[in-house]
Amino acid sequence: MASNGNESVALNGKGGRNGLAKIETHKKHSNGICHDDSGPTVKAQTIDELHFLQKKRSAPTTPIERTQTPFATLSEGQRQRQQLNSISASLASLTRESGPKVVKGDPDKKSETQRVVHHDHHIAPAIVVSDSALKFTHVLYNLSPAELYEQAIKYEKGSFITSTGALATLSGAKTGRSPRDKRVVKDDHTENELWWGKGSPNIEMDEHTFMVNRERAVDYLNSLDKVFVNDQFLNWEPENRIKVRIVSAGAYHSLFMHNMCIRPNTEELENFGTPDFTIYNAGQFPCNRYTHYMTSSTSIDINLGRREMVILGTQYAGEMKKGLFSVMHYLMPKRHILSLHSGCNIGKDGDVALFFGLSGTGKTTLSTDHNRYLIGDDEHCWSENGVSNIEGGCYAKCIDLSQEKEPDIFNAIRFGTVLENVVFDEHTRQVDYSDKSVTENTRAAYPIEYIPNAMLPCVGPHPKNVILLACDAFGVLPPVSKLNLAQTMYHFISGYTALVAGTEDGIKEPQATFSACFGAAFIMLHPTKYAAMLAEKMQKHGATGWLVNTGWSGGSYGYGSRIKLPYTRKIIDAIHSGSLLNANYKKTEIFGLEIPTEVEGVPSEILEPVNMWLDKKAYKETLLKLAGLFKKNFETFTSYKIGKDSKLTEEIVAAGPIF
């Protein structure tokens, strides 16, 4: 990873240069946006200190020999010319007459490469053309994981092979997303289409500022000796897939996106053509902090009109993944396809279940089931044909990961997998997943086929069950409730869970967290639009909504106890089998939830929360407190009218707590 002056200012604990005040590149906010993978800057004062944290002892002394890294084979003839022109056009600055030239072969052996010029005639340099426009930049196109390993280990400090064969990397100063530095261009179209204002994750910028940042990113990429280009797909449903191009400065980012997107075969690459969306990842280079709309040296900018995204000032790979997810939240609804931040699995009889839940609710654990096939762990589309995974890989948290608790994820960390910000033993290269020296937000990115029970291709029929997960640390929500459509929309829009002491600094008692659609940081349209689409599809295809509490029972956090995972699994099993539909139900007070009187394998007394509280008065007070928090959170959405009248909005509001 390259270091730069601005980056060092951000990392040292002192003031800025020439007496200027230091600009903070990451600030903690609690405005309701889902910060499930955002994190503080690393505990290091310099880049060398950061590298030191990665290993348990000293820096490696084994020399690394230079080996040849061939390019992936490209198509011949006209298709090759068109492809190279397309890549070059993506990289060319708007103010230049010519972009970088594209070659095949090893950039270390320039004398052996054949220069492929993308013009039919020679263009003599003019006075108005800068010298950088004449620079020869090598494009490393869709390299294989083995080739990317070689590039990373040879040229990127902080890249090592671990004992299982995974590639350990560092994301620099930023070890999580920077949601307050994400910007979306507000133009004549997006002004009326997107969700802006209070509660929205969409922070506006204008077209001119985007072009300033784009120019800075492209100039940086063009100044490099080589850039990495990935041409890949999003969405496993062939007729609705999106072609994406990722232009990045490092092999680590290229391998990450190779894993996370859907990998084209040779024929698909030859006929790839012009991408639908392009990312310019110049994260090693900061944005100009004095540019309009900038609040730090980090900026993640999306221009939906140009179908482009620019990354400056952060090397955290998750920005690319979630940036594309945001784009899908805009593009898919235009095709009447619902984009969802959810896990998804399918039973052997073809019954599909969607799992929604914020961090800590058990979404990954419960959607991973050895008796069912995994369609995907995080991002999905629901079209007229059924459900499909948006991605081609998984991005799993691996703090405190163990083979006993999460065998599928543990075993997926092998050759080809990218490990971000983990700490390993200097000699054995064994990873210590409990070590938080670099960050608690350690991650593993691997192709979905590394999961043994993955459903390939990652598509399935229409869901039968929509499961909303909440870790209720207040201890007043039932372990399971059956929801009607209006209640499903209400709780989907609310996106509730609770943080407990220990999950974040300064938290001493449960704190309610709401993230619209269980992923507010990534949605583009107003939450009620996604909720209305969800209700329409559930009604049309006969899906049932469920609210499952994986949190506390018998008291709030610190007094009660967490609901046992085997009980929750029995509840999920009963949902999958359909037996829970035939149970007897009773309605709770305040929230008006339908709860079953019995579930096979689960003690009946825990199904109604009040039974487990010794202090009934405290239960009622806590229930009213949580209901008030729900009501206050939902005030943001009550003014938004769905359709020509406000009938649907009124139904959703009425489905909330009444007291």
Which residues are catalytic, by number? 177, 322, 341, 359, 363-364, 378, 443
Torsion-angle region of 362 (φ positive above 0: left; ψ -120 to 50: alpha; else: beta): left
Q: E strands, 390-537, where?
A: 393-397, 418-420, 423-424, 431-432, 443-447, 459-460, 463-470, 480-483, 496-499, 511-514
Q: What is the DSSP string of 502-523?
A: TTBTT--S-EEEE-GGG-TTT-
For residues 23 and 566, what is the distance between their CA atoms, to the nearest angstrom? 48
List phi, psi (to 5°) of 158: 100, 0
Residue 569: which of 376, 371, 411 has the closest Cα? 371
The pairs formed by 431-436 with CB atoms below 8 angstroms and a separation of 24 or more are 431/162, 431/163, 431/164, 431/166, 431/168, 432/56, 433/398, 433/399, 433/400, 433/401, 433/402, 434/399, 434/400, 435/56, 436/399
Cα of 238 vs its chain's centroid, Å: 22
For residues 424 and 162, what is the distance between their CA atoms, to the nearest angstrom? 8
In this structure, which amino acid lies at residue 23? Answer: I
In this structure, which amino acid lies at residue 328? Answer: M
For residues 188 and 415, what is the distance between their CA atoms, to the nearest angstrom? 47
Query: Which residues contact residue 231 at a Cβ distance below 8 angstroms, ignoring those fewer than 6 apart?
Result: 141, 142, 243, 244, 245, 264, 269, 272, 275
The pairs formed by 450-453 with CB atoms below 8 angstroms and a separation of 24 or more are 450/394, 450/411, 450/412, 450/414, 450/416, 450/417, 451/368, 451/374, 451/394, 451/408, 451/412, 452/408, 452/411, 453/370, 453/372, 453/373, 453/374, 453/408
Pull the structure tokens for residue 100. Answer: 């970088």
Helices (H), 250-348: 251-260, 266-270, 318-334
For residues 179 and 443, what is the distance between their CA atoms, to the nearest angstrom? 18
List phi, psi (to 5°) of 297: -85, 5
CB atoms within 10 A of CB 484: 15
Residue 652 DSSP class: H
Pull the structure tokens for residue 261. Answer: 């997107």
Given the structure tokens 């192709």, which residue do they identify?
Answer: 447
End-to-end CA distance of the chain, in Å?
Answer: 56
Residue 173: which of 359, 12, 399 has the closest Cα? 12
Pull the structure tokens for residue 132. Answer: 């950088």
Given the structure tokens 């800025």, which residue do they identify?
Answer: 16
CB 499 within 8 A of CB 513: yes
For residues 198 and 567, what is the distance between their CA atoms, to the nearest angstrom? 39
Given the structure tokens 């086929």, which residue do they identify?
Answer: 449
For residues 232 and 257, what is the distance between their CA atoms, to the nearest angstrom? 9
The β-bridge partners of 383 are: 386
